[in-house]
Amino acid sequence: MFCNFVDKLRQPISMLDIDKIRADFPILKREVNGKPLVYFDNAATSQTPQVVIDAIVDYYSNYNANIHRGVHSLSQEATDKYEGARLKIQKHFNIKESYEIIFTSGTTHSINIVATGFESILNEGDQIIVSALEHHSNIVPWQMLCEKTGAILKVIPMNEEGELIMSEYDKLLSDKTKLVFTNHISNALGTINPIEEIIEKAHAIGAAVLIDGAQACPHIKPDLQKLDVDFYVTSAHKIYGPTGVGILYGKEEWLTKLPPYQGGGEMIKEVTFEKTTYADLPHKFEAGTPNISGVIAFGVALDYANNIGFDVIEKREKELLEYATEKLLTIDGLRIYGTTAHKTSVISFNIQGIHPYDIGTIVDKLGVAVRTGHHCAQPIMDFYKIPGTVRASFSFYNTFEEIDVLVESVKKAQMMLN
């Protein structure tokens, strides 16, 4: 089985054959409420191609064993595949050293490792900066950190178009700023933030920077050495991989400076009842048995996406975004939130006088999966003074015909609810 899906990955895709691509994703063949599934909730989780599913099955069927701890053949094979995935991730993100990659359960876990580590570094009166466009997982850990250390949380404000006001960021920076955190792309609005400028200005005053890349990595291919970012985090399930696995990238100097996040097996060098010494990177932060199959499948998911090409993915998704924007704006009373030209394939919208949850419920009956609510970004909704939005988020495997179905479904919901 393993050889079959590796061979499939090696077959070059000269152009985006959408029927061939969609055939790679078994879930796209199913029906919901008697209608063909139209999946527009990709910002919450992307769908998984068969080669990634096969990689998980192959692990449990053929070499299921714990890693790093056995001399027997299965353990060695599992370890090779697991560490092979780390090397794939290193290459994909252009990371200097493979040991600067820490495997975690996902973006939230990765952020919390950094936030907990800085408890021993920050002092009362130090300042940390987040943006107004953050997911709750990039707000709450820093609030908790401030409560424990006495540090002060500052926020880069946003404008009506869903962009960060960078002139205000300049005013927030000072010699008291120790950390800056922002997402690469907003999950609620699709805004692509100017992270190069954010990183450069933070470094100019000696502050470290963490970028939440969960929403960016399905659409673009970040070059972490070029960005010169101190920490970058993401989740596999956003990039056509499995749930329950992600990465924390950190520069070696920072990962060495931070204390271990949790204790247990694997993260130790020597243990006595008098004293324990910790393992070298990356094992210092990888206590316990990891999600072995998930990490291996993450590597296969990156292989799949790179085989298609992120330039192809980006072009396809831009076309879908432009088409959906044009079609949705033909609906009377519909407003889109997040109207910057510099955005990815996410549209958050409401229809005047109708609660977003009601729209989401009706279009689901017609087979269309969208997300409704505040999208774990409640401060954004508070800014617009709304309870939430309907969010349609597109991936390269979606079609223009599916967008037509979405538009007609929203029109039917509007007619029923008015």
3-state secondary structure string, the chain? Answer: CHHHHHHHHHCCCCCCCHHHHHHCCHHHHCEECCEECEECECCCCCCCCHHHHHHHHHHHHHCCCCCCCCCCHHHHHHHHHHHHHHHHHHHHHCCCCHHHEEEECCHHHHHHHHHHHHHHCCCCCCEEEEECCCCHHHCHHHHHHHHHHCCEEEEECECCCCCECHHHHHHHCCCCEEEEEEECECCCCCEECCHHHHHHHHHHCCCEEEEECCCCCCCCCCCHHHHCCCEEEEEHHHCCCCCCCEEEEECHHHHHHCCCCCCCCCCEEEECCCCEEECCCCHHHCCCCCCHHHHHHHHHHHHHHHHHCHHHHHHHHHHHHHHHHHHHCCCCCEEEECCCCCECCEEEEEECCCCHHHHHHHHHHCCEECEEECCCCHHHHHHHCCCCEEEEECCCCCCHHHHHHHHHHHHHHHHHHC
- 224 is a domain residue: yes
Last residue of a domain, one of 289, 306, 323: 306
Contact 291, 235 (CB under 8 A): no
Q: What is the pLDDT along the chain (418 residues), one digit of tens a residue?
A: 444 444 444 343 345 799 999 999 999 999 999 999 999 999 999 999 999 999 999 999 999 999 987 789 999 999 999 999 999 999 999 999 999 999 999 999 999 999 999 999 999 999 999 999 998 888 999 999 999 999 999 999 999 999 999 999 999 999 999 999 999 999 999 999 999 999 999 999 999 999 999 999 999 999 999 999 999 999 999 999 999 999 999 999 999 999 887 765 555 566 556 555 556 788 889 888 899 999 999 999 999 999 999 999 999 999 999 999 999 999 999 999 999 999 999 999 999 999 999 999 999 999 999 999 989 889 999 999 999 999 999 999 999 999 999 999 999 999 999 8
Last residue of a domain, one of 280, 306, 332: 306
**Which positions are catalytic?**
376
Do 276 and 413 lie in a common domain?
no
Do 251 and 149 lie in a common domain?
yes
Length of the chain, in residues: 418
Do 188 and 331 lie in a common domain?
no
- pTM for this prediction: 0.92
- 83 is a domain residue: yes
- 53 is a domain residue: no
Do 23 and 115 lie in a common domain?
no
Do 330 and 406 lie in a common domain?
yes
Do 314 and 196 lie in a common domain?
no
Last residue of a domain, one of 306, 322, 352: 306
Do 314 and 406 lie in a common domain?
yes
Do 31 and 172 lie in a common domain?
no
Question: Considering all CA atoms of the chain, what is the largest pairwise distance in Å, rounded to the nearest integer?
Answer: 72
Do 256 and 318 lie in a common domain?
no
Domain count, the chain: 2
Which CATH number does the domain housing residue 284 bear?
3.40.640.10
Which structural domain, as residue segments, surrounds residue 10? 2-48+309-417
Do 399 and 315 lie in a common domain?
yes
